[in-house]
């Protein structure tokens, strides 16, 4: 097979894979929005009753190829709260209902809207705000922006207690930059190496299972947390 023919086959295979991924995203997000509509109503009402402000929170994030979009979340902080783009557990900006929905990851559910309209995928690197994206190395930033951002990924699974890790740090901003970002880079490389519809379905199922396994740590999570505790963990970006 010539180099040109090999390139054409690779392009067709990639195109089919992306089509299957998008079809899965549309089907799953549409079904999820319908099935979770009653929960959406309950959470939205609780957020509104708990503190002044809208039920939903929208924020600019950077998506594939550097395209900005507005991400949807249930509001978990005071409407006028100001602070860093990352949030540590116990942050004073978090409301009472906000603490509960963040612990249950219910604040992320409105991102099914982003998936349905094509801003995001169910599985992919978590989209960052423009200021946090600048903290990433050029190589890692290019990898992140080469694929559609997602609602969940390996970092969401294995670093799902990110807020607690930040709260335990003496310098959360430095910890995020020097520890969490390099770890997320390694987890993204793992996802890119095995990226497929089968891998996406597996990550979605693992994410759902993790919601019901709040306290137990997998062996892989324990290893990652051990690395985070080392000084230094990984080279800073």
Tens digit of pLDDT per residue, the chain (237 long)?
Answer: 443 433 443 445 566 789 999 999 999 999 999 999 999 999 999 999 999 999 999 999 999 999 999 999 999 998 876 666 677 777 888 999 999 999 899 999 999 999 999 999 999 999 999 999 999 999 999 999 999 999 999 999 988 888 888 888 888 888 888 989 999 999 999 999 999 999 999 999 999 988 887 654 555 555 555 555 554 443 333
What per-residue confidence (pLDDT) applies to 81? Answer: 65
76, 107 contact by CB (below 8 A): yes
* Cβ proximity of 20 and 123 under 8 Å: no
pLDDT given at position 236: 36
Question: b vs e for 123-137, b when ≥16 Cβ sit within 10 Å of the residue's Cβ?
Answer: bbbbbbbeebbebbe
The confidence score (pLDDT) of residue 191 equals 95
What residues have CB less than 8 Å from 210, skipping those under 6 apart?
157, 160
Q: Which two tokens stand for residue 91?
A: 């942050």
Is 154:191 a contact under the CB 8 Å cutoff? yes
> Which pLDDT does position 7 carry in this prediction?
41
Report H helices in 36-137: 37-50, 96-103, 111-117, 130-133
Q: What are phi and psi of 42, to 5 degrees?
A: -65, -45
**Could you say which DSSP state residue 136 is in?**
S
């Amino acid at each position: 097979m010539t180099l040109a023919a090999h390139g054409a086959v690779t392009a067709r295979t990639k195109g089919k894979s992306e089509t299957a991924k998008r079809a899965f995203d549309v089907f799953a997000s549409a079904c999820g929005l319908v099935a979770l509509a009653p929960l959406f109503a309950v959470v939205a009402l609780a957020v509104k009753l708990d503190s002044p402000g809208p039920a939903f929170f929208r924020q600019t994030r950077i998506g594939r190829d550097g395209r900005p979009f507005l991400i949807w979340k249930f509001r978990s902080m005071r409407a006028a709260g100001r602070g860093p783009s990352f949030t540590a557990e116990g942050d004073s900006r978090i409301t009472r209902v906000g603490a509960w929905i963040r612990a249950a990851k219910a604040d992320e559910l409105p991102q099914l809207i982003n998936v349905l309209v094509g801003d995001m995928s169910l599985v992919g690197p978590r989209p960052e705000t423009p200021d946090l994206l600048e903290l990433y190395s050029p190589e890692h930033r290019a990898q992140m922006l080469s694929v559609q951002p997602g609602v969940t990924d390996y970092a969401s699974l294995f670093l799902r207690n990110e807020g607690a890790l930040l709260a335990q740090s003496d310098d959360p901003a430095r910890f995020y930059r020097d520890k969490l970002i390099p770890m997320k880079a390694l987890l993204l490389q793992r996802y890119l190496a095995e990226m497929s519809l089968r891998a996406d379905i597996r990550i979605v199922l693992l994410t759902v299972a993790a919601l019901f396994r709040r306290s137990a740590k997998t062996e892989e999570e324990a290893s990652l947390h051990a690395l985070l505790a080392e000084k230094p963990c990984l080279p800073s970006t």
